[in-house]
Amino acid sequence: MSRETYWTDDPAELLRVREGFELSATDSHAHPGFDGDKHAGQAALAEGAGILADLQEQLFAMSRMGGDERRILLVLQAMDTAGKGGIVKHVMGSVDPQGVALAAFKKPTPEELEHDFLWRIRKQVPGAGMIGVFDRSHYEDVLIGRVRALASPEEIERRYGAINEFEAELAATGTTIIKVMLHISRDEQKARLTERLVRPDKHWKFNPGDVDERLLWNDYAAAYQAVFERTATTDAPWFVVPADRKWYARLAVQHLLIDALEAMRLDWPQADYDVAEQQARLAAS
Amino acid sequence: MSRETYWTDDPAELLRVREGFELSATDSHAHPGFDGDKHAGQAALAEGAGILADLQEQLFAMSRMGGDERRILLVLQAMDTAGKGGIVKHVMGSVDPQGVALAAFKKPTPEELEHDFLWRIRKQVPGAGMIGVFDRSHYEDVLIGRVRALASPEEIERRYGAINEFEAELAATGTTIIKVMLHISRDEQKARLTERLVRPDKHWKFNPGDVDERLLWNDYAAAYQAVFERTATTDAPWFVVPADRKWYARLAVQHLLIDALEAMRLDWPQADYDVAEQQARLAAS
């Protein structure tokens, strides 16, 4: 199985949130670990698509035969327009749909609000052999939850701990967790929202509430900073991916998935039946 | 939005099950409506992918803004190895994953068996704006259900009627139903199963039970024939797609989806907010 050849440095190392990380000091327009331009980035994405698809098939196969319980959970968080949908479409879109479990978390329903914030999340954790993708997640409960004071400060505090316990439990039961914040600048968001208002085929992607959230930009930045400080763990690391250039963000997230799958040292599973015996049965059928 | 140009006749018409249809008289190696070879078929599939993706985005958009309740349900049934997985990967794989809801129905669980056979099916019907895909379906309950006598003949009889009522109800509430049987020959299945036993990277796709079912080939053919006679309705037509050539089956199913979407006369939804007002708010933000 081939490997990626186009990185100058491993973006999984470059983008990982470490002690002392500061979102405000991070360049959303950069392309760490990749020297090429947009055209080169798109070619690399196409090359990586084949690598990712092959690895995903092995992950899936090992769960179906051999009982491998491992799975991946990709958590996507970002301000509006940062490109979560583009990641799903252009990165996950190159993987066999049968191996992908996508969960989009919108504003909680009244029923969901009657339960603990992790209740609806637990129902969507990926099964063995799957790559699960959370488009927004339990982190909304400490992001908009904090910015809009939807819960008390004490409850927000409690949630950081509950999240770390939840994720540690997932990791201990075979889930590789990759948490991604797509990082765009305030100016880039303005340009993207403007485009949605200019093009009639994009109007449906715009919501007046997007501007309301935008007005709280600095509060969200502080809430993300707190998330990184409280929930970047060894089991469940955060990666802040510069996303002003869509091609770079897609390539970087694709790499994070490839990197996680390669670390699993996958292979094709051994047959759990006698191959020669089945060949004879088949020949006679 | 462009249209397909590569059909000599509309396969939706050619493949539809009509009064007097006989599975046993149907050629699984044919390619009705398409004059080209495999290479041409693959090129056509790539062209159709763009058309399908554009139409799907409009379907999705109209549900998100404008409250359009319409959706599509593609039911895939076939003997093992006929290529259901390939349809999901190569036809649905070209569509934005956010707009696709895939449900694979395996052997029912004990909990599922405690309920009516449609109980687990109802939970998976696609939401507004989605293309739902059933990889196997409620038809298993009148196929293996009949062949293996998992239910009494009276119960099987009842199920045909229950299925027609269920599908009529879905159709009446905005679901375009496309039921596809991928039709392969017994020899082609043998070749494909043989390959799975020869290649170690395919061993995980083989199950000794596949040979058991293969030995009941004629019983399954009779059960499919009964399904077509009892459940091919105007609301929920069956299409028998020759599938000995994988490229043709994929191209034909892609067309059935494109055809259904074009019949919906989709467009981009009108903004449900004042565009100029939002532009002013955004400019000031």
pLDDT digits (tens, 9 = 90+) for B153-210: 999 999 999 999 999 999 999 999 999 999 999 999 999 999 999 999 999 999 999 9
Contact assessment for residue B189 and residue B214, using Cβ atoms and an 8 Å cutoff:
yes
Q: Does B193 touch chain A (CB under 8 A)?
A: yes
- Closest in B64, B190, B282 to A190, CB measured: B282
Closest CA to A49 of A96, A12, A10, A86: A96
Tell me whether B208 touches chain A (CB under 8 Å). yes
Burial B93-129 (b: 16+ CB within 10 A, else e): bbbbbbbbbbbebeebeeebeeeebeebbeebbbebb
CB B211 within 8 A of CB B79: no
Q: Are A184 and A244 in contact (CB under 8 A)?
A: yes
Closest CA of chain A from B270, distance in Å = 7
Pairing of strands A71-78, A131-135: parallel
B233, B168 contact by CB (below 8 A) = yes
- Size of the A and B interface in Cβ pairs below 8 Å: 119
Task: Please give the residue of chain B at the shortest CA–CA distance from A189.
Answer: B282
- Test mutation, A204, A213, A250, chain B, max B CBs within 10 A: A204
Distance, CA of A275 to CA of A65 (rounded, Å): 14
With CA atoms as reference, the chain A residue closest to B84 would be: A98
Q: Residue A178 carries which DSSP code?
A: E
Instruction: Say which residues have a Cβ less than 8 Å from residue B173's Cβ, sequence separation at least 6.
Output: B69
Q: Which candidate from A194, A200, A273 shows the least CB-CB separation from B282?
A: A194
Pick from A197, A205, A285: CB nearest B275 = A197
- Could you tell me what percentage of chain A is helix, strand and coil, using 3-state DSSP and rounding each to the nearest 5? 55, 10, 35
What is d(CA A138, CA A167) in angstroms, rounded to the nearest whole number? 11
Distance (Å) from the alpha carbon of A129 to chain B's nearest alpha carbon:
13
Q: pLDDT value at position A1?
A: 57
Contacts of A54 (CB under 8 A, 6+ apart): A1
Does the beta carbon of A123 lie under 8 angstroms from any beta carbon of chain B?
A: no
The DSSP code for B245 is S
Element (H, E) at B50: helix B38-64
Report the DSSP beta bridge partners of residue A240.
Answer: A181
Give the CB-side neighbour count of residue B218, counting CA atoms within 13 A.
1
Report the phi/psi class of residue B20: left, alpha or beta, with left for phi > 0 and alpha for psi in -120 to 50.
left
The answer to whether residue B150 neighbours chain A at the CB level (below 8 Å) is: no
Helix (H) or strand (E) holding B131: strand B131-135
Contact call for B285 and A211, based on CB within 8 A: yes
pLDDT in tens, B70-125: 999 999 999 999 999 999 999 999 999 999 999 999 999 999 999 999 999 999 99
Q: Give the DSSP H or E segment for B102.
A: strand B100-104
CA A146 from centre of chain: 22
Dihedral pair phi/psi, residue A115, rounded to 5°: -105, 170
Q: What is the pLDDT of residue A66?
A: 82
Closest-CA residue of B relative to A85 is: B98
| The pair of three-digit structure tokens given for residue A242, joined into one six-digit string | 């510069």
**pLDDT value at B2 more than 90:** no
Q: Nearest 10 degrees: CA dihedral of B17, B18, B19, B21?
A: -40
Rounded to two decimals, the pTM is 0.95
Q: Which of B95, B102, B203 to mutate to test the interface with A (most CBs of A within 10 A)?
A: B203
- The C-alpha of B155 sits at a distance from chain A's nearest C-alpha, in angstroms, of 31
Outline where chain A has alpha helix (H).
Answer: 11-15, 38-64, 84-90, 110-113, 119-122, 144-147, 153-172, 186-198, 208-214, 217-231, 246-263, 275-283
Q: Cα-flanking dihedrals φ and ψ of residue B203, to 5°?
A: -55, -40
Which residues of chain B make contact with A214, given a CB cutoff of 8 A?
Answer: 282, 285
Structure confidence by residue, pLDDT tens digits, B222-273 = 999 999 999 999 999 999 999 999 999 999 999 999 999 999 999 999 999 9
CA proximity to A160, closest of A225, A217, A109: A225
Rounded to 10 deg, the angle between the A38-64 and A246-263 helix axes is 30
CA distance B226 to B208: 27
Return the residue of B nearest to A60 by Cα. B204
Mean pLDDT of B134-138: 98
Q: Please tell me the distance in Å from B204's CA to the nearest CA on chain A.
A: 6
Asked if residues B128 and B120 have their Cβ atoms less than 8 Å apart, the reply is no
Task: List CB contacts (< 8 A) between A66 and chain B.
Answer: 204
- What is the percent of chain B where pLDDT is above 70? 99
Name the residue type at position B34: F
Sign of CA dihedral B121, B124, B126, B130: negative
| Among A95, A109, A206, A112, residue whose Cα is nearest residue B65 | A206
- Residue-level pLDDT, tens digit, chain A, 285 residues: 568 899 999 999 999 999 999 999 999 999 999 999 999 999 999 999 999 999 999 999 999 998 999 999 999 999 999 999 999 999 999 999 999 999 999 999 999 999 999 999 999 999 999 999 999 999 999 999 999 999 999 999 999 999 999 999 999 999 999 999 999 999 999 999 999 999 999 999 999 999 999 999 999 999 999 999 999 999 999 999 999 999 999 999 999 999 999 999 999 999 999 999 999 999 999
**Whole-number Å distance between alpha carbons of B207 and B215:** 14
Residue from the list A88, A97, A211 with its beta carbon closest to the beta carbon of B93: A97
Of the candidates A147, A120, A146, A148, which has an alpha carbon nearest to the alpha carbon of residue A134? A120
Report the distance separating Cα B230 and Cα A203, nearest Å: 45
Token pair of A279, please?
């060949």
- Do A72 and A178 touch, CB atoms closer than 8 A? yes
Whole-number pLDDT of residue A184:
98
CB-CB under 8 Å, A93 with B92: no
Would you call B89 and A97 a contact, using CB atoms and an 8 Å cutoff?
Answer: yes
Dist. CA A95–CA A75, nearest whole Å? 17
Tell me the chain A residues in contact with residue B65 when contact means C-beta distances shorter than 8 Å. 203-204
**How far is Cα A161 from Cα A167, in angstroms, rounded to an integer?**
10
Nearest Cα to Cα of residue B220 among B80, B88, B119: B80
Of A139, A180, A183, whose CA–CA distance to A26 is shortest? A183
